[in-house]
């Protein structure tokens, strides 16, 4: 929602497209023969955007329902152990993913960006009534894993969008190769960035919890460290690799400096925040106000059921407001709509309501009659997953 809120508003639909948006009284006069459909006590608004989810981890929801993680690396070890025990693929994985995907749409999510290793989401694209963008994730930090990964990438079909997992898990040459391919194909390039603070310490000194964890598992080589490289954090590291541009989506981006936010703003890279997952994994809070000050409007994502007890963009807005009371609720609402659409590159069609855009949006029931913009935004943001939504289309 990037434009002004219209009190007593209406939307005119024609052949599946929005023809006009404005005040009800004015549009009734301008379109005298139109069929009227009333939505009393509701707000008409764009569909929500979930800019980061891992559908293939939906069968691991029991992990996200437990106590908050004691450590980030401990959670990774537990999650990987569960995947190995239960199976990375299979009917149980696909059914859980399908259930979560339908629940996303039912809650008002129009578009999602999914990250996975198995291709489960790609099998569900045609079954989803909204827009599902699946990305095949690559990782591998050692030199021994680099050559096979590059060969696999070279053989990948151009219809498959490929991306890197994170700086702490992906060789820099592989990150560059993945980004080069994404730019060639005009694909989005989502990558986990600065989620745990230990990623920064690993990149700047080769030490800390993440470096120790990878060494213990044999995924880190002493000949391949970043000690001595003149970088201050994960975002600056990605900048040094030349992979930040308008088609880069930095997911989480918690432990970033003001200078790094400037790099993101200057490069026009996008950011996706996942407050629910961050709270469960206890990795910290993103500097939301600093992003907004520097002109970066983040998107929102739920992350996976393995690290979030409730996959709801409404709840993500609610948690963000709780964690950052200084942030305008209208800005938070924009993150879940216009910010998400811009991050996924679909802002010309979605994220706001306007003439020429697809005629599919939400009617959201409000608890009381509200007309002031700030109060309306606050009611939508603070309502959490209890919000009742209905899809509207011609």
Is residue 98 within 8 A of residue 128, CB to CB? The reply is no
Is residue 270 included in any domain, yes or no?
yes
Supply the DSSP string of 285-309, one letter for each residue: ---HHHHHHTT---EE----TTS-S
Contacts of 254 (CB under 8 A, 6+ apart): 194, 195, 197, 278, 283, 284, 285, 286, 287
Does residue 29 sit in the same domain as residue 106? no
Sorted by sequence, the CB contacts under 8 Å of residue 84 that are 6+ apart come out as none
Q: Is residue 267 assigned to a domain?
A: yes
Q: Are residues 20 and 97 in the same domain?
A: no
Q: Which two tokens stand for residue 41?
A: 């006590």
- Residues 222, 96 share a domain: yes
The alpha-helical segments, DSSP class H, found in 253-387 are: 258-267, 275-281, 288-293, 313-323, 329-334, 340-344, 373-382
Provide the CA 79 distance to its chain's centre, in angstroms: 20
Whether 251 and 272 share a structural domain: yes
For 358, the 3-state DSSP assignment is strand
Is residue 138 within 8 A of residue 172, CB to CB? The reply is no
Q: Is 20 within the bounds of a domain?
A: yes
Q: What is the pLDDT of residue 195?
A: 99
Give mean pLDDT in consecutive 10-residue pieces for the chain, a chain of 394 residues.
78 96 95 93 97 98 96 97 94 97 98 97 96 97 92 97 97 96 99 97 90 90 54 92 98 98 99 99 99 99 98 99 98 99 98 97 89 91 95 90
| Domain shared by 114 and 245, yes or no | yes
For residues 13 and 143, state if they share a domain. Answer: no
For the chain, what's the residue count? 394
Same domain for 150 and 25? no
- What pLDDT does residue 244 have? 99
Beta bridge pairs of residue 190: 249
- How confident is the model at residue 50, as a pLDDT? 99
Q: Number of structural domains, the chain?
A: 2
pLDDT of residue 371: 72
Residues 135 and 62 in one domain: yes
According to the model, what pLDDT value does residue 1 have? 52
Is 363 among the domain residues? no
CATH number, domain at 198?
3.20.20.140
Do residues 34 and 140 share a domain? no
- The residue range of the domain holding 379 is 50-357+369-383
Task: Give yes or no: residues 234 and 260 share one domain.
Answer: yes
In a shared domain, residues 7 and 60: no
Q: Is residue 389 part of a domain?
A: no
Has residue 391 been placed in a domain? no
Domain membership of residue 393 (yes or no) is: no
Question: pTM of this prediction?
Answer: 0.97
Q: Are residues 14 and 115 in the same domain?
A: no
φ and ψ at 243, to 5 degrees? Answer: -115, 10
Q: Is residue 197 part of a domain?
A: yes
């Amino acid at each position: 929602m990037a434009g002004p809120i219209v009190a007593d508003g209406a939307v005119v639909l024609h052949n599946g497209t929005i023809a006009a948006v404005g005040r009800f009284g004015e549009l009734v006069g301008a379109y005298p023969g139109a069929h009227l459909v009333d939505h009393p006590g509701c707000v008409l608004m764009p569909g929500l955007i979930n800019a980061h989810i891992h559908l293939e981890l939906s069968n691991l929801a029991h992990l996200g329902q437990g106590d908050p993680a004691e450590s980030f690396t401990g959670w990774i070890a537990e999650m990987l152990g569960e995947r190995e025990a239960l199976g990375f693929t299979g009917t149980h994985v696909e059914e859980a993913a399908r259930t979560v995907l339908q629940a996303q749409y039912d809650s008002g999510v129009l578009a999602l960006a999914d990250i996975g290793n198995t291709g489960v989401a790609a099998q569900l694209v045609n079954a989803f009534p909204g827009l599902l963008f699946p990305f095949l994730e690559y990782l591998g930090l050692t030199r021994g894993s680099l050559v096979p990964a590059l060969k696999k990438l070279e053989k990948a079909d151009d219809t498959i969008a490929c991306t890197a997992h994170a700086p702490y898990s992906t060789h820099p040459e592989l990150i560059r190769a993945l980004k080069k391919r994404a730019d060639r194909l005009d694909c989005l390039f989502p990558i986990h960035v600065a989620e745990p603070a230990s990623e920064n310490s690993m990149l700047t000194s080769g030490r800390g919890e993440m470096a120790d964890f990878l060494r213990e598992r044999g995924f880190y080589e002493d000949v391949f460290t970043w000690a001595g490289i003149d970088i201050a954090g994960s975002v600056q590291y990605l900048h040094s690799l030349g992979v930040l541009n308008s088609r880069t989506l930095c997911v989480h981006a918690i432990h970033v400096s003001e200078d790094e936010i400037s790099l993101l703003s200057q490069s026009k890279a996008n950011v996706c925040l996942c407050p629910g997952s961050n709270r469960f994994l206890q990795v910290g809070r993103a500097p939301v106000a600093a992003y907004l000050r520097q002109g970066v409007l983040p998107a929102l994502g739920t992350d996976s059921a393995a690290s979030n007890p409730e996959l709801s963009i409404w709840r993500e807005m609610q948690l963000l407001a709780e964690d950052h009371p200084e942030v305008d609720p209208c800005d938070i609402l924009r993150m879940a709509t216009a910010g998400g659409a811009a991050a996924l590159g679909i802002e010309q069609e979605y994220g706001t309501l306007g003439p020429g855009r697809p005629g599919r949006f939400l009617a959201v029931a409000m608890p009381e009659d509200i007309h002031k913009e700030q109060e309306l935004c606050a009611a939508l943001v603070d309502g959490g997953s209890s919000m009742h939504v209905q899809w509207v289309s011609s």
